[in-house]
A and B are shown apart, each in its own frame.
Chain A
Amino acid sequence: MNEHQRLFLVQARTDFAAFELFRKQTDFPACHALHYLQMATEKFGKAHAWKHGKTGKTHHAFVSFLRSLATNRQAQKQLGQGGKTENWQHTIRKSVSFADAIEKLAPALAGEGPNPEYPWPPTDPNTSPAEHTFPIWQELTDTAAGRRFLTLLKRLFAVAEAFL
């Protein structure tokens, strides 16, 4: 892991810690947890992308990173899935669809649609994130696949050095 990667990872981890705090809090609307989750995954993806030098402005790096895990036997083993390749690939496939939805929450990608930071649509706002019910949040909290994705992220952040 080079210094650029380390810097992004440190920041990603604090974002993820903030996400964990907001996830457990009842005093804040879900947009804050989602905001930190989006930032944590974006920076984790960038930490991975910096392995080969300077990266452009991208919000898609985390999805690319997750896709690369599908065939990474070392990661499979480290994340407790050794010897269960089909399960692992299914888990990654499911996770990619969650990661993709989270990446699209970034205001730069959300366009006219919902994002967890600013009221939208940008030109004539009529909804605030704090008052919005985000379907992705319900998927993450109400479904086993969503909770598994969050568990996978927690494990990934814990052993990130092994993949960077």
Chain B
Amino acid sequence: MFLVKDERYGVTYLVFTWEDPRREGYRGQVAEGVSLDYDMEAVHAWPDGHERPEACVGQAPDNPNHYKVFRYGRDLREAGYQPVRGTAVVFGSWSEYERLHLIPPDPERTEDESWYDYLERLDDASRHRRQRAQIAEEPVDNSRDKVAAWVARKHLIADSSVREVWYLTQGAPPEDIRLLEVNDRIGWAGEKVEAMDFGLDIEGAKFRLFVADVTTDQLEQVKRDPALLPPGWALKGATTWSRRG
């Protein structure tokens, strides 16, 4: 068997696989030629009145390549095994284990630090994904509406945390593109909505791009009280785009 120690969301997993993870592109450290004694039924049996099983992993005193999962820490010590930090999991291949981690951790049961680790992994994955995402180099034409749609699409691809883009035209000067981007992973959100502006030159057509990032809660507040928007902005008549188009 093969063994990989994988740190995820603040937890150490001791991943035992039958196939070599390196053959599937895994580049971390792999221990090969290991063996595991793990009687799952016996370890995890929990009859009424008994202590909850601890499922402790130990390394054999006479063979550092042999591991055993004990029901309790005291059993491990009695057997003279060395305790190994982590939770033992057994998979046929590394990709089977990876697939399991595509499921996000439960936000209600996850510590903040681990949750942010998860979000950063998601950002990394999004960064890789957008490298292969197809987006037109330039908008269909350089009318303001087409440019706004193109910028919105670009932002939705570039930033996995943006779930919706509102394009606000009412009262906007013809050279201004006003986007309200809805994102629940913003580090902080003030009372009022603030926009940041950038110059935009599309094949000689020049615009001022204003982008304001808001959370879903802020958007709801803005719907009730439009005065929270930057001066002159209005939600009425907005065009919206979401991740799916």
Q: Which residues of A contact B (CB under 8 A)?
A: 23-27, 80-81, 84, 86-88, 90-91, 93-94, 138-139, 141-145, 147-148, 150-151
Check A144–B116 contact: CB distance below 8 A.
Answer: no
Interface string of B141-178 (1 = CB under 8 A from A): 00000000000001100110110000000000000000
Q: In the complex, which residues of chain B have a beta carbon less than 8 angstroms from the beta carbon of A145?
A: 123, 159, 161, 187
Q: In the complex, which residues of chain A have a beta carbon less than 8 angstroms from the beta carbon of B183?
A: 144
Separation of A145 and B187 alpha carbons in the complex (Å): 8
Closest-by-CB residue of B relative to A25 is B199
Closest-by-CB residue of B relative to A22 is B199
Q: Count the B residues whose beta carbon is within 8 Å of the partner chain — how many? A: 28
CB A119 to nearest CB in B, in angstroms, measures 22
Separation of A63 and B207 alpha carbons in the complex (Å): 33
Check A147–B213 contact: CB distance below 8 A.
Answer: yes
Q: In the complex, which residues of chain A have a beta carbon less than 8 angstroms from the beta carbon of B155?
A: 142-143
User: With A25-B199, A26-B206, A142-B155 in contact, is A147–B116 under 8 Å at CB?
Assistant: no
User: With A24-B199, A141-B198, A147-B213 in contact, is A86–B112 under 8 Å at CB?
Assistant: yes
Across the interface, B201 reaches (CB within 8 A) one of A26, A86, A90, namely A26
Across the interface, B198 reaches (CB within 8 A) one of A23, A80, A143, A151, namely A23
Check B181–A87 contact: CB distance below 8 A.
Answer: no
Separation of A119 and B212 alpha carbons in the complex (Å): 34
Closest-by-CB residue of B relative to A146 is B159
User: With A26-B199, A90-B187 in contact, is A144–B194 under 8 Å at CB?
Assistant: no
Across the interface, A81 reaches (CB within 8 A) one of B123, B188, B207, B208, namely B188
Separation of A26 and B159 alpha carbons in the complex (Å): 23
Given contacts A142-B159, A145-B159, A147-B211, 6 further A-B contacts (CB under 8 A): A26-B199, A90-B116, A93-B116, A141-B198, A144-B161, A144-B213
Closest-by-CB residue of A relative to B119 is A90
Separation of A2 and B181 alpha carbons in the complex (Å): 42
Separation of A28 and B200 alpha carbons in the complex (Å): 10
User: With A24-B198, A86-B112, A141-B198 in contact, is A91–B188 under 8 Å at CB?
Assistant: yes
Closest-by-CB residue of B relative to A79 is B188
Closest-by-CB residue of A relative to B159 is A143
Q: In the complex, which residues of chain A have a beta carbon less than 8 angstroms from the beta carbon of B52?
A: none
Decide yes or no whether B217 CB sits under 8 A from chain A: no
Separation of A93 and B196 alpha carbons in the complex (Å): 21
Closest-by-CB residue of A relative to B175 is A26
Across the interface, A24 reaches (CB within 8 A) one of B112, B162, B194, B197, namely B197
Check A150–B158 contact: CB distance below 8 A.
Answer: no
Decide yes or no whether B190 CB sits under 8 A from chain A: yes
Closest-by-CB residue of B relative to A97 is B120
Q: In the complex, which residues of chain A have a beta carbon less than 8 angstroms from the beta carbon of B190?
A: 80
Separation of A91 and B207 alpha carbons in the complex (Å): 30
Q: In the complex, which residues of chain A have a beta carbon less than 8 angstroms from the beta carbon of B159?
A: 142-145
Closest-by-CB residue of A relative to B123 is A145
Across the interface, B186 reaches (CB within 8 A) one of A139, A148, A150, namely A148
